[in-house]
Structure 1
Amino acid sequence: MELTNIQSEQGWRIWWKLTRPHTLTAAFVPVALGTALSLKYSSLHWGLFFSMLIASLLIQAATNMFNEYYDYKRGLDHENSVGIGGAIVRNGVKPKTVKYLGFILFGIALLFGLYICYQTTWWIAVVGLICMAAGYFYTGGPIPIAYTPFGEITAGFFMGVVIILLSFYIQTGFINALSWAISVPIAILVGAILLANNIRDLDGDKENGRKTIAILLGRERAIFLLACMFIVSYGWVALLVIFQLLSPWALIVFFSAPKAIAATKGFIGKTIPIQMMPAMKATAQTNTIFGFLLSIGLFISYMSQ
Structure 2
Amino acid sequence: MAATSSAGVLRVCWRCARPNFLVLAPLCAGLAVTSAWLDGRAPEGAAILLVLLAALLAHAAVNLFNEHHDFASGLDATTRRTPFSGGSGALPEHPDAARAVHRAALACLAGVVIIGAWCLWRAGPALLLYGLLGLALVVAYTGWLTRRPWLCLMAPGVGFGTLMVIGANHALTGGFSATALAVSAVPTLMVSALLLANQLPDIEPDRWVGRHHLAIMLGARRAARLVAVLVFGAFLVVPLAWAAGWLPAETGLMWLAAPVALRLIVGLWRLPSDVDAGDFAGLLPLLGLNVALLLASLSLLNLGLWLAA
- Correspondences of 1:162-201 after superposition (within 5 Å): 162-201=163-202
- CA distance in 1: counterparts of 2:79 and 2:166, whole angstroms: 40
Question: Structure 2 vs 1, CA of residues 79 and 224 (structure 1 numbering), >3 Å: closer, same or farther?
Answer: closer
Quick check: 1:47 aligned with 2:54? Answer: no
Q: Is the deviation greater in 250-259 or in 150-159?
A: 250-259
Shift of 1:59: 1.3
Gaps of 5+ in 1: none
How far is 1:89 from its partner? 0.7
| Separation of aligned partners in 2, 1:21 and 1:257 | 27
Distance 2:281 2:15 in 1: 18
1:93 is displaced (CA, Å) by: 4.2
Residue identity over aligned pairs, in percent, reads: 23
Q: Which residue of 1 aligns with 2:148?
A: 148
Greater CA deviation, 59-68 or 13-22? 13-22
Alignment of 1:1-305 (within 5 A): 6-8=5-7, 10=8, 13-40=11-38, 41-78=40-77, 81-82=80-81, 83-125=86-128, 127-140=130-143, 144-149=144-149, 150-264=151-265, 265=267, 268-269=271-272, 270=275, 271-272=278-279, 276-302=283-309
**TM-score, with normalisation over the residues of structure 1?**
0.87
Question: 1:238-284, CA deviations, whole angstroms, 9 ceiling, x for partnerless residues?
Answer: 11122332222111111223443454426823434576443223222
Mapped partners of 1:87, 1:54: distance in 2: 24
**Stretch deviating more after TM superposition (96-105 or 169-178):** 169-178
> Residues of 1 paired with 2:96 and 2:33: CA distance?
37
Q: 1:241 to 1:122 in 2, by over 3 A?
A: closer
Asked if the contact 1:156–1:189 (Cα under 8 Å) also holds between the matched residues in 2, the reply is: yes
**Over the residues paired in the alignment, what is the CA RMSD in angstroms?**
2.5
Unpaired segments ≥5 residues, structure 2? none
Residue identity opposite 2:145 in structure 1: I
Matches of 2:245 and 2:192, distance apart in 1: 27
SS at match of 2:247: coil
Corresponding residue pairs, total: 296
- The 8 Å contact of residues 79 and 89 in structure 1, kept in 2 or not, is answered as no
TM-score, normalised with respect to structure 2:
0.86
Q: Give the 3 Å change call, closer, same or farther, for CA 80–229 of structure 1 in structure 2.
A: closer
SS of structure 1 residue aligned to 2:167: helix
Return the letter of the residue paired with 1:47. A
